Amino acid sequence: MRRRLTVWLYDEAVGVLSQEDNGYLFAYRPDYFGPALSLSLPVSKGRFPSTTLHPFFVSLAPEGWLKMRYSQLQKIDEQDLLGLLLHNGENLIGAVRISAEETS
């Protein structure tokens, strides 16, 4: 299943997080030159393919009893961290938020 999510920093769309057939890809927008989301995701590199969800994004997902409760209420598999981020990414703590990909 392919899914694409827009990643925002301080209300500016900075990149796209996607789930591909062979893993995940985070890519900064080509026109983004602001601060990096994380030291492990420098803007200068641009694209970050991975077979598992990058730890930065894993850290944004709910954990423990909250993860279990969200999974039950939203009918999302507890292991589907991208799904949990998609459904709850608008209400993250801090400057980052995640939403369904915007189409222009």
Q: Where are the domains of the chain?
A: 3-100
| Residues 19-74 pLDDT 10s | 988 999 999 999 999 999 999 999 988 899 999 999 999 999 888 898 888 888 88
Partners of residue 49 on adjacent β-strands = 25
pLDDT band for position 104 (cuts 50, 70, 90): very low
Greatest distance between any 2 Cα atoms in the chain: 39
pTM of the model: 0.87
* Cβ proximity of 19 and 2 under 8 Å: yes
